[in-house]
Structure 1
């Protein structure tokens, strides 16, 4: 057994989990799949055990040691409970949702295992495999990554222990490097910007003590998707870079002050394992200043160049470590302003065709409602994009107050209008672009 200090990021997430009213997604990560074959559950359990033995992070619990929360890492032989549980599954999405939901509060108390795998045969030739993961136990692990290693172990393609670099073996060196190279730049940039929201929204967030988290999902219209593709080609950008530029235009402040955005990145993957630099949802801050930027095309190009630089540079030091050293709050709780109040996340639609036991692996339908009253509302708006070859799905996670369902629908429509505006009016001045201060000037 090894006892270590929590990282700053782990401390933040642990605080979420033990809070009385925490939004469910902060408490656990999950991935659910349907394998079009009847898997051997005993063999699957052995595969899960081998993956658990490979990674310290899957054997890490957060426990009080001398009154302080610490990482407690157990050796494989010290784990007594099963990592895989056989379940009854009738093949319906509703039952899948019930199985996942039953583990929502699993890690509100210390558990030696940071992963729970549920598996059960359906009425057809199929097997449900659900991987639920406590992401406090290690920075940089997703439930999808854990499942992929289980799948590979089951099919005889697993990693060798010597090929796996443990999170704890590189975090301290990574942190020291980041503090030396990036810390002062982080602090300087954070001080430059301001919230990307009208003043009344900021006031309502600060006044709130109980908030609800809601979600608005939609797919970009075909005209918007085509416009995005054309701007991407014309400006040498990725789709996400163009969408980030559109967000910067839309959420600019009426007073012209530089605006803070949080941008989620995936860090640097390390060979042989599934740990990445920083948190799974690591952040960099992107301060947008349109002063001296004459046209929307200039704004897109500037955003492209700065976003590339900042993502690479600031990814060297986890944001939570900066907060811990400067006394800043991450701003995840109601009644607090964070370093940013608009957050951007981009991901690619699942592309690889997975198989297990030579059978197709499909993502399971899980109709969970993630809306919840909570005390850790986080940024007021999280704008996420799932980028496909011919389709872009979008989501707006919002905190109420200050945002409600009708306002978030208007923001979604305006955002699409911004994408088309950037395409249709490349030489227009930045001041002509749609803006939130026109959509939501006041209550």
Structure 2
């Protein structure tokens, strides 16, 4: 069977069900084409994409500049491994470290790999620089975190669906409540073996849970005071999604580059993925200054595909598009409009309790139990009305369109969402 033989959604879904592992529960939409903020299914129905591949497609589907960079490089050389140098990687590393204002970059492929990389760097720094006894280092993490699904990461997850029956689990993590700096301060005072604090500036998978404005700056302050590495997982929140280049920049009114803003809580380890590639090719990275990154020596960490020429070329163009098209500014402006319009609707709504988010990373909380089907049913109805979104944590619907969306389109989408919600009002 060839791809062109797939003529219906039912046929494609049946093939996946029969021949693929059942590790996802997708909405019943079989997509074959994407352009900008739109995607089309195999029956040629057009939809607004309000998930953006979990914020990987911030620059819009098939952005011509990113596709051109990928194609041009793929026609030249695609992979050298790290056994040899290539002529693109160093250029990318220089570009990205200057873009984000760090000394060094370690490239990987996926977000989970980047998180694992940061954990390894943090532990090695703790033993060689901070003087913690080997194997005694601990990392503080937060409840309802989502950093991936590798064995190490699920070891400190409280998502039983991702965790149960995958043990034994990796030790070395202390979990506390999110948005709770008092508990963090107590742990840092009492435990001298803390190497780092790993955090999502906004918890995406947990339903776009946005902490108090003071939370991230206070975490940074405590890390500095106790010689602990502040590790920011910006895989989903970074690259302009929240209205600034990075979510740790806070609610500043910058031009998308917040390194010199007073509100910038600069991480010791910055973890990036997803939109670093514009959704075109897997690429992730960890950035740090020399004092931290130089603990990694040859043979201690790596990846055959990490830093390959195609990924490097794609990432540079993806970042250039963010800057040239002012996507952080667009996300900030249209995110404010989106929340304002939805908040006007929910004043008289019985089905939506809350609208929350920052920039164009937003969510609505459905007035029903987490184990109800209401949020899923609303997403199916949204699909029928031409907009694709997905529930998370049962009763929450995340809305994250490509950042190239314009005001007319965002208002059209608000109408689709509110008209759909009206079908569920009591």
TM-score (norm 1): 0.26
Bigger fraction of residues in strand = 1
TM-score (norm 2): 0.27
